[in-house]
Amino acid sequence: MPAHCEGASGVSSQNISTEGLSYRDAGVDIDAGDALVDRIKPFAQRTLRPEVLGGIGGFAALVEIGQRFREPVLVSGTDGVGTKLRLAFELQRHDTVGIDLVGMSVNDILVQGAEPLFFLDYFACGRLHVDTAATVIQGIAAGCEMAGCALIGGETAEMPDMYPDGEYDLAGFAVGVAEKSRLVTGSAIGSGDVVIGVASSGPHSNGFSLIRKILVRSGASLDDPLPGTQSTLAEALMQPTRIYVKPVLSLMEQITVKGMAHITGGGLVDNLPRVLPENLTARICRDSWARPPVFAWLQDAGQVADDEMWRVFNCGIGFVLVVDRKDEPGARAHLAAHGLESWVIGEIASRAAGEAATRIL
């Protein structure tokens, strides 16, 4: 990736020459940064699309939109992984947080009906550990392959004294394209439309500040089994964010999807209203799908109120589609054919004065 490392090499002050300082003496290991770029090039190469004209290694990457669109609209999104990284550090599991990073951004731009074109990442650390960074970025490349977008560049910043040794932060940036006439804005949603909820893989990358508090208060170990499953708490909580791009884009070729929502922080309560016209409400039946065991454990272990659960977590629904009632069977069959479990979780209705935009019934 077009990257430069600004960080620590671990050289102690006793080793600093009194005759003249080097960048390595100041904590920046340029050789480590170069080694990382060499390590990640094969991962990125596998994600390239025909539109990419130039990528890893230059000062900037070049992508053309191509001739498929008459009125192309660029759609962009950015996000991070958040405090889920604290668990990654504790568990020394760095292979899936890159998928989380990609998923949080590409699922957001999918809501508008956009096809992700390319992705850039930002990896910041105090001291660059090449093996760890390469593992993280390999996960980013895997997420890009799932989404069908190219990993064309990024930045690896090594900054002494900014981060504890062994820790890092991540940010990601996705750019996609959509035909202007086919943008999904929610304006076509009407009373009587069906709300389809698509299964999440777990908490995704939201609510981990609360999750960590629950772990501390409950005294649970991440190695403890999750009741009702064959998984440990660590395995359930570290499941990467599900990427919905390819199944949903192909569904849009078959039916009219009137609205979509990526269920992130704020849950169904706060995210679904973002795509609804002001005169409509989504009435969601809480018993229309089976809530995964990890959410039951979190609520019980943390004594979390129902309203708080709905506003913090996705509670098993990672993505929502709003379609005409006649299109619901075909839409769910298509999702199932792509390995995605889904349910009719509610319907759209006229919104009464004072009624909430989303109601969990």
Spatial separation of the C-alpha atoms in residues 272 and 274, rounded to whole Å: 5
Q: Kindly tell me if the per-residue pLDDT of 232 is higher than 60.
A: yes
The one-letter code for the residue type at 118 is F
Contact 295, 302 (CB under 8 A): no
Q: Kindly tell me if the per-residue pLDDT of 30 is higher than 70.
A: no
Burial (Cβ within 10 Å: 0-12, 13-18, ≥19) of residue 320: buried
Q: Is 108 helix (H, G, I), strand (E, B) or coil?
A: helix
Spatial separation of the C-alpha atoms in residues 57 and 198, rounded to whole Å: 38
Other residues' Cβ atoms within 10 Å of the Cβ of residue 67: 7
Instruction: List 79's β-bridge partners, or say none.
Output: 172
Residues 246-259 pLDDT 10s: 999 999 999 999 99
Contact 335, 342 (CB under 8 A): yes
* Structure confidence at residue 27 as a pLDDT band (50, 70, 90): low
Residues 97-131 pLDDT 10s: 999 999 999 999 999 999 999 999 999 999 999 99
| Token pair listed for 271 | 């995210």
Instruction: Tell me the percentage of the chain whose pLDDT exceeds 70.
Output: 90
Q: Which residue has the higher pLDDT, 156 or 39?
A: 156
Please state the rounded mean pLDDT for residues 77-94. Answer: 96
Q: Kindly tell me if the per-residue pLDDT of 3 is higher than 60.
A: no
pLDDT at 8: 38
The one-letter code for the residue type at 274 is R
pLDDT at 52: 87
pLDDT at 25: 60
Contact 80, 168 (CB under 8 A): no
Please state the rounded mean pLDDT for residues 69-89. Answer: 96
* Structure confidence at residue 20 as a pLDDT band (50, 70, 90): confident
186: region left, alpha or beta (phi > 0 left; psi from -120 to 50 alpha):
left
Q: Kindly tell me if the per-residue pLDDT of 266 is higher than 60.
A: yes
Q: Which residue has the higher pLDDT, 52 or 76?
A: 76
Please state the rounded mean pLDDT for residues 148-159. Answer: 92
The one-letter code for the residue type at 262 is H
Domain extents in the chain: 13-182, 194-360
The structural architecture, per CATH, of the domain 194-360 is Alpha-Beta Complex (3.90)
Contact 92, 168 (CB under 8 A): no
Torsion over CA of 222, 224, 226 and 228, rounded to 10 degrees?
Answer: 170
Confirm or reject CATH 3.30.479.10 for domain 13-182, answering yes or no: no
Residues 314-324 pLDDT 10s: 999 999 999 99
pLDDT at 28: 64
The pTM score is: 0.90
Q: Kindly tell me if the per-residue pLDDT of 276 is higher than 60.
A: yes
CA 221 to chain centre: 26
CB-based contacts of 230: which residues, under 8 Å, 6+ apart? Answer: none
Spatial separation of the C-alpha atoms in residues 130 and 345, rounded to whole Å: 45
- Distances in Å between the Cα of 43 and the Cα atoms of 19, 56, 142, 143 are 42, 11, 8, 11
Residues 170-222 pLDDT 10s: 999 999 999 999 999 999 999 999 999 999 999 999 999 999 999 999 999 99
